[in-house]
Amino acid sequence: MAYTLLPNLYYRIFSGKVIKRIRTKEKKVMLTFDDGPDEKYTPKLLDVLRENGVKATFFVLAEKAQKYPEIIKRIISEGHEIGLHYLNHSVPLLRSPLRTRKDFKKAHEILTSMGVEVRLFRPPWGLFNPLTYYYAKANNLKVILWTQHAYDWSWWNTAENIKNSLLRKIKKGSIILLHDGRGANGAPAKTIKALTEVLPILKQQGYQFVQADDFLRGGVSEQVPTLLYKGNRHISG
């Protein structure tokens, strides 16, 4: 219980150190994607974002980033942010303190070797063990969870359900969790299809899609981190 339940209760519910929403009175939201990059889906998602003039944050798995460096370069060159999602999609609850430290170290080395300086972190499934936050902080990573989740990874979900869920739940200050990799077979394709309809509607409703730097400049919350990654400045080649 001490190793699994208590850290998650604290960081997911009570801690003010973990960012779960944007504090703003304006129609500003943060669009985020986990579990990529994926060679099949991430380029298609980037096409949709570019067509709609929307910037997002990609929480990548370091081993997948290493496998698809050209996709990482494209993400950054098109003005999106990069955050760390972990070395791979292993369950933090089952990682020992030593393994947690090694995974953070290796993930950091992989991204650094690619020329990426990343300062945001989201643990897989949003789960913590007692050392997750400690090593995130030790690596100068600000932890961001989410406000809205469309469960787009599930086999039972449909593009129409994802669309309706997003349009119904998104509010001012929402941090939106979606996925561009993993999940049930073909799940990211449903997310991409839903976004082709959702993004124009939200923009028509007056929503702005912001990144960490954007809402920092707006001074929306003293709990928002003060040092975050400007995605288009830190990759070589």
Active site members: 34, 179
Helix (H, G, I), strand (E, B) or coil at 160: helix
Distances (CA, A) of 167 to 49, 98, 163, 176, 199: 17, 42, 6, 11, 10
In the structure encoding, which two tokens stand for residue 169, read together? 């739940």
CB 220 within 8 A of CB 137: no
The DSSP line for 173-230 is: T-EEEEESS-SSTTHHHHHHHHHHHHHHHHHHTT-EE--HHHHHHTT--TTS-S----
Helix (H, G, I), strand (E, B) or coil at 123: coil
